[in-house]
Amino acid sequence: MSELFPHYRATWETDQHRELRRHAAEFFRKEATPNQERWAANHQVDRDFWNKMGNAGLLGLDLPEEFGGTGGDFGYSAIVGEELALAHDAASGWAVHSPIVAHYINTYGNAEQKQRWMPKIISGEAVLAIAMTEPGTGSDLQAVRTTATRDGDEYVINGSKTFISNGTHCDLLVIVAKTDPSAGAAGVSLIVAETGDDPAGFERGRVLEKVGQHGQDTRELFFSDMRVPAANLLGEREGQGFYQLMEQLARERLIIASVCSGMAEAALLEAIKYTKEREAFGRPLIKFQHNRFQLAELKAEVLSIKTTVDYCVQQYIDGSIDPATASMAKLIAADKGVAVVDRCVQFFGGYGYMMEYPIARAYAAARVNKIYGGTSEIMKEIISRSL
């Protein structure tokens, strides 16, 4: 239940969704919120945090029950994304692992692959990452240079990747690579590497110093003649990777949008709380009309973000989402969410610039939402094609 909008209920939200919301809120406030500063200092979450999330049933929410999942709809993941943000988490790689990468394996993996990997993914025994971005390649996934050359029953992988979330802990890594460098988009394939034991030819590079989300283990990865079984190819044949990526982008963008919605609401709740407690000239900040009007406007903005995202989540659940609509959710939630967080910082004055305050960590963490999962400019390009 939303603290800011106690009577708000999305059209897709059932009693089971609301029970999950209460469970996730309680779990993350206990297991994630108190650890943010320590995780930021360590540049990674505790490894057993993944096992705790698995034990709490938060890693298989819309994955098949036969592997230990809950078998719920996409709304379950949207709720957890919001609740992580409302718990002021800027470290967990849950969004990459559970609603994004797990579904590449669930959707495109064969029976043997799913039987081998899915139980570990859902329990937290195996942490997931996806290696898309390269030093010279961002949104243009057709231009990746990492290669996977078939050699008997194995692929030999060479190349490098950057900005890889869960780069420290990942045990299973979905690699975007060219199996046919001459074929453009039709030469891209997805191959799963088992990296838990750091196989020969695989190197985890430096942890990257980011503006925000300091507790997330974002790294560079390098492949030098790394051998991966050919049986780890996702899909029936080579060359399907680009199309697999395009099919799953709506999920990724809607999860980011859900997190943005939670971040905006969390920032406004912190601002309201602070303006009620902090005094200037003998009265609480919220008693000044300018501040009240600003907060009122921000509350309306947060509601507009929530309703936009929830409308699109409903479309996804119904199976009617299209690329332009998913891009609208991501564009609105990211752009407006960043603006809301920025304006909330102002109420705190100098304290809003101190990293010990959740609002400062949110400010630093929010900006990347307009970049990853497809930049706001790419979202506009996709939307413009529907005009």
| Amino acid code (one letter) for 12 | W
- Report which of 260, 166, 213 is spatially closest to residue 364, judged by C-alpha positions: 213
Dist. CA 103–CA 109, nearest whole Å: 9
Instruction: Supply the DSSP symbol for 97.
Output: I
> Residues of 153-189 as b/e, b for ≥16 C-beta within 10 angstroms?
ebbbbbbbbbbbbbbbbbbbbbbbbbbbeeeeebbbb
Determine which helix (DSSP H) or strand (DSSP E) holds 131, and give its type and residue range.
strand 128-131
* pLDDT for 1: 73
Per-residue confidence in pLDDT tens, the chain, 387 aa: 788 999 999 999 999 999 999 999 999 999 999 999 999 999 999 999 999 999 999 999 999 999 999 999 999 999 999 999 999 999 999 999 999 999 999 999 999 999 999 999 999 999 999 999 998 776 667 778 999 999 999 999 999 999 999 999 999 999 999 999 988 889 999 999 999 999 999 999 999 999 999 999 999 999 999 999 999 999 999 999 999 999 999 999 999 999 999 999 999 999 999 999 998 999 999 999 999 999 999 999 999 999 999 999 999 999 999 999 999 999 999 999 999 999 999 999 999 999 999 999 999 999 999 999 999 999 999 999 999
3-state secondary structure of 132: coil
- Report which of 234, 239, 206, 238 is spatially closest to residue 222, judged by C-alpha positions: 206
Backbone angles phi, psi at 252, to 5 degrees: -60, -45
Residue 115's alpha-carbon distances to 106, 123, 173, in angstroms, are 10, 13, 17
Give the global pTM. 0.94
Please say whether the beta carbons of 36 and 361 come within 8 A. Answer: yes
Give the tokens for residue 11.
Answer: 């059209």
- Residue that is written with structure tokens 């570990």 in the block: 120
Please say whether the beta carbons of 358 and 269 come within 8 A. Answer: no
Backbone angles phi, psi at 234, to 5 degrees: -90, 125
pLDDT tens-digit map of 118-135: 999 999 999 999 999 998
Instruction: Supply the DSSP symbol for 320.
Output: -
Instruction: Supply the DSSP symbol for 134.
Output: B
Which residues does the annotation mark as catalytic? 252
- Report which of 271, 294, 258 is spatially closest to residue 349, judged by C-alpha positions: 271
How would you classify residue 39: left for phi > 0, otherwise alpha for psi between -120 and 50, otherwise beta? Answer: alpha
* Residue 151 CB burial class (10 angstroms; 0-12, 13-18, ≥19): exposed
* pLDDT for 138: 63
3-state secondary structure of 280: strand
Dist. CA 153–CA 155, nearest whole Å: 7
Q: What domains lie within the chain, and their CATH numbers?
A: 15-127 (1.10.540.10), 129-239 (2.40.110.10), 242-385 (1.20.140.10)
Determine which helix (DSSP H) or strand (DSSP E) holds 228, and give its type and residue range.
strand 219-229
* pLDDT for 137: 73
* pLDDT for 61: 94
Alpha-carbon radius of gyration of the chain: 21
| Amino acid code (one letter) for 34 | P
